[in-house]
A = this chain, B = another copy of it.
Amino acid sequence: TVAANAATASAASATAAAAAPPAAQVAWKGAPEWSSESGWSFKPRGRMQFDAGTVSSPRGINDASLGFGSELRRAYIGFDGKIPGGFGYRAEIDVAGSSVEVTDLFLTYQASKEVGLTVGQHKPFWGLEEMTSDLFPSFTERAAMNTAFGFERRLGASAAYSKGDVLLQGGVFTDNVADLNNDENNSMSVDGRAVFAPKLGAGQLHLGASAHYHDLNDSAASVRYRVRPFIHTSDVRFIDTGNIGAVSELGYGLEAAYIRGPFHGAAEGHWQQVNRPGALVDPTFFGGYVEAGMFLTPGDTRGYKGGAFDRVKPNSPLGKGGFGALQVNLRYDYLDLIDAGIVGGRQNGYELGLVWTPTDYTRFLLNYGHMVYSDAALPAAGGDRDYSVDALGMRAQLDF
């Protein structure tokens, strides 16, 4: 019995040694995420997107950036983590342009279960697709309105309230940190967004609205709205307002989406009013899109989290006996840059895409857009401003 007791004691100490809480647990989320019971966490972050594509040339428009093109679309590296006491951070840069573009770079404080505060560079609560990570949209590029109206990250302070199906976000921002390198920059914006996202039947509903006031606060400021033809490998913009002398911008957005099993639908609209100096009439431009998508592989569905689309996690990934998730998406993509005497052109885009997600952290896209332009900014042969362009784009993507 003495021997047995000794054995028991020895076993107990072995159990203790094995069970002593380790200083860090590891979870693999692309890259490892380390965390501790005392509230620490740390995770490296990265993403890479390699694009190739081709854009047709309307007769008479000869631009060497049309036709075939390829590029490193995005290359992010960074870190995020948590610090005991309720603080957190994300620091990430995009080096794809062989330069530094600061993307998300902020610190957070979880003031209560429902309320989070953020200081630093982050997105001023644009609409659904813009708030969705560029890792997860339905096509290689977001809808025209998201690019045209200058949605960007800005330095600011914001608060978010989240409870049940409701999400409220609001903040005060200055400008993108790259623009703030010019110490004369005095612009200021106030941005807010409300999301209602209840379960509806067997699906997830998303309804949202946002409002944005941006005071340029500069004696000689201007804005310019324009967009590439569906893909990003060409820098030609067929529709383009040119520079518009401006005092401020006022924007409103509406968002709706529904996900149910393999299906999803989404629609957004954004009205952007430019307040011009003096007695000039203030134009209001509009952009919007409607899309629908369906997974062809059984058991797959689109991710949704925190008021935005999220990661697709294939039901049967490559390497585990499966093929991954295959999704087909369809979008009508409208942008109207004509108002109050400004004729930047109008786009009616018809887009079709295939997204293959072999594993949680890899994604391949192939998509095609037929873009119909009217009153385009760039005249084709014979001064023709009504023409169409075909664009085919593909992407290989990995993130960690």
The residue in A38, A181, A317 that gathers the most chain B C-beta atoms within 10 A of its C-beta is: A181
A98 and B98: CB pair below 8 A? no
Q: Which residues of B contact A101 (CB under 8 A)?
A: 98
B15 and A85: CB pair below 8 A? no
With A71-B180, A180-B70, A180-B72 known as contacts, the answer to whether A400 contacts B48 (CB < 8 A) is no
Closest to A400 in B: B81
A65 in complex: contacting residue of B69, B155, B184, CB < 8 Å: B184
B32 and A70: CB pair below 8 A? no
A83 in complex: contacting residue of B105, B181, B186, B361, CB < 8 Å: B361
A26 at interface (Cβ–Cβ under 8 A)? yes
A77 and B75: CB pair below 8 A? no
On chain A, the number of residues with a Cβ less than 8 Å from chain B's Cβ atoms is: 98
Instruction: Choose, from A86-94, A131-139, A203-211, A241-249, the stretch at the interface.
Output: A86-94
Expressed in whole angstroms, the Cα–Cα distance for A42 and B79 within the complex equals 14
Expressed in whole angstroms, the Cα–Cα distance for A22 and B18 within the complex equals 11
- Minimum C-beta distance from A396 to chain B (A): 5
Closest to A70 in B: B174
Instruction: Choose, from A1-9, A252-260, A262-270, A304-312, the stretch at the interface.
Output: A1-9
Expressed in whole angstroms, the Cα–Cα distance for A12 and B227 within the complex equals 66
B30 and A32: CB pair below 8 A? no
A113 at interface (Cβ–Cβ under 8 A)? no
Query: Interface code A84-122, partner B: CB below 8 Å = 1, 0 otherwise?
Result: 111101010101111111100111000000000001110
Q: Which residues of B contact A40 (CB under 8 A)?
A: 28, 32
A24 at interface (Cβ–Cβ under 8 A)? yes
A-B CB contact pairs (8 Å), 17 listed? A3-B5, A3-B8, A4-B4, A4-B7, A13-B15, A18-B18, A32-B34, A69-B186, A72-B177, A75-B105, A77-B77, A83-B361, A84-B317, A85-B320, A86-B318, A99-B100, A183-B235
The 8 tightest CB contacts between A and B, nearest first, are A85-B319, A17-B18, A65-B183, A64-B184, A3-B4, A14-B14, A10-B11, A7-B7
